[in-house]
Structure 1
Amino acid sequence: MIRTALPAEARVIADLHVRARSTYYPGGLPDPGTDWAARWLDAIERPDGQVLCVVEHGRITGIASFRRAEGSPAGTVKLFQFHVDPDHWRAGIGGALHTACVEQWHADGTRTATLDVHVGNRRAQLFYARQGWVPDPENPPAEDDHHLYLRLSLSGE
């Protein structure tokens, strides 16, 4: 089942987030002091955003957070976080969650989605490419940047 995350689930979502991010930071997360539960609670409670979660057998196995980013044009949404519990990779959870995001974006009248992905996260880069994401020509990575910027056209362009 895919549904909107609840405030009471912020800690569980934060734990999943940390486990997933740890897989592509071999030296450890760069921001070890961050209170991820508080950050996720903020995302869940934002009136201008949405957090979706995949729930299987009573356990959250995937999460996605998106909203219109400050300064972005109308009709554009930014996917800020997208994680699947590493214990559940290759089970179709990411694809189903991505489809739910795209369906929500269509319902909201979104024409373009953007995201940034860590250069060391090859697994995510391949996943996004399979979903139709391409490098963002308006946002090439700067030298020494650790992120790639991708976009997804939702208007058939």
Structure 2
Amino acid sequence: MIRTVLPAEAETVAALHRRARATYYPDGLPDDGFDWVAVWRRAAERADAHVLCAVERGGLVGIASFRVPDDGPSETVKLFQFHVDPDHWRTGVGTALHSACVDQWRADGRRAAVLDVHVDNLRAQAFYARRGWVPDPEYPPAEGDHHLFLRFRVPAR
């Protein structure tokens, strides 16, 4: 089941986020200084954002957070976070969550989506490529940057 995350679930969401991120840092998950529980709570409370989750057997197994960025065009949405619990990879959770995002983008009148993915996260890059995401021509890879910027055209129904 896909549903909206509740602010009270921020700690659970942050723990899932941490587990998923830890898989693609070759030297271990860095201490980025963020209070991810507070970040996720604020995201869930924002009126202009969507935080969706995939739930199986009563537990959160995937999360996605998106909104129109403050400095972006209104027809483009940014996928800020998209994570599936590593114990649920290759089970269809990511596909279902991505489809729910696309459905919401279409319902909101968005024509494009953008995201950035860690350059070492080859699994995620392959996942996005299979769904039609391509390198964003407006933001080509920069020397030494650890992010790859991708773009997606939201298909019309």
Q: Is the structural similarity TM-score above 0.5?
A: yes
Moved more, 100-109 or 23-32: 23-32
Whole-Å separation in 1 of the counterparts to 2:42 and 2:28: 24
- CA RMSD, aligned part only? 1.0
Q: Does 1:119 align with 2:119?
A: yes
Structure 2 unaligned blocks of 5 or more? none
Aligned residue in 2 for 1:79: 79
Aligned residue in 1 for 2:36: 36
One-letter amino acid of the counterpart of residue 87, structure 1:
D
Whole-Å separation in 1 of the counterparts to 2:86 and 2:22: 10
CA positional deviation for 1:13: 0.3
Q: State how many pairs are aligned.
A: 156
Aligned residue in 2 for 1:13: 13
One-letter amino acid of the counterpart of residue 105, structure 1:
W
Q: Does 1:105 align with 2:105?
A: yes
Whole-Å separation in 2 of the counterparts to 1:33 and 1:113: 27
Whole-Å separation in 2 of the counterparts to 1:18 and 1:12: 10
Give 3-state SS (helix, strand or coil) of 2:101's partner: helix
Structure 1 unaligned blocks of 5 or more? none
One-letter amino acid of the counterpart of residue 10, structure 1:
A
Q: Calculate the TM-score normalised by the size of structure 2.
A: 0.96
Identity of aligned residues (%): 67
